[in-house]
């Protein structure tokens, strides 16, 4: 595995995922999901670290196992990863969180697929550029 590719593509993918979360959950679909408690610096840090971890997860799969090095294959691989991570998360969320609805399940699944496809394209393109 090319450690440099993994770290750079994972960090960039994590930052892009954080920004996409802000766009989708904070602006475009803000009224669709329940009101969240007031954001704190610690909350935003934990969200950022979660996004960074997810970006590194996708980058690890792409560099270690799949050798994905184009935006197109990254987009496709990211969409599949997004589908499965969204489904497992939302099934557990439906089971344990009060107020979860099937509409929220579907919307969050769609957002996760699109977001992960985008970060997959980013990670794949970076892997291709870095060689």
pLDDT at 1: 62
**pLDDT surpassing 90 at residue 5:** yes
Q: Determine the average pLDDT of the residues in 9-37.
A: 91
What are the structure tokens assigned to 82, written together?
A: 């997004």
Domain extents in the chain: 3-130
The 10s digit of each residue's pLDDT in 115-126 is 999 999 999 999
The Cα–Cα gap between 41 and 103 comes to 30
pLDDT at 131: 76
The residue among 90, 32, 91, 24 whose CA lies nearest residue 51 is: 24
What are the structure tokens assigned to 97, written together?
A: 């969180």
The 10s digit of each residue's pLDDT in 26-83 is 899 988 877 777 778 888 999 999 999 999 999 999 999 999 999 999 999 999 999 9
pLDDT at 28: 94
Please report the DSSP string for 63-128 in residue order: IIII---SHHHHHHHHHHHHHHHHHHHHHHHHHHSTT--HHHHHHHHHHHHHHHHHHHHHHHHHHH
Q: Are 117 and 73 in contact (CB under 8 A)?
A: no
Q: Are 51 and 19 in contact (CB under 8 A)?
A: no
Q: Are 119 and 55 in contact (CB under 8 A)?
A: yes
């Amino acid at each position: 595995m090319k450690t440099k590719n993994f770290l750079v593509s994972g960090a960039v993918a994590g930052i892009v995922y954080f920004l996409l979360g802000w766009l989708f959950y904070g602006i475009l679909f803000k009224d669709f999901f329940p009101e969240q408690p007031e954001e704190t610096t610690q909350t935003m840090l934990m969200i950022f670290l979660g996004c960074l971890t997810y970006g590194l997860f996708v980058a690890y799969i792409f560099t270690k196992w799949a050798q994905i090095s184009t935006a197109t294959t990254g987009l496709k691989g990211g969409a599949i990863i997004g589908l499965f991570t969204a489904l497992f998360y939302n099934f557990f969320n439906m089971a344990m969180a009060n107020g979860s609805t099937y509409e929220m399940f579907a919307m969050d699944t769609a957002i996760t697929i699109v977001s992960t496809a985008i970060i997959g394209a980013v990670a794949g393109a970076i892997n291709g550029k870095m060689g």
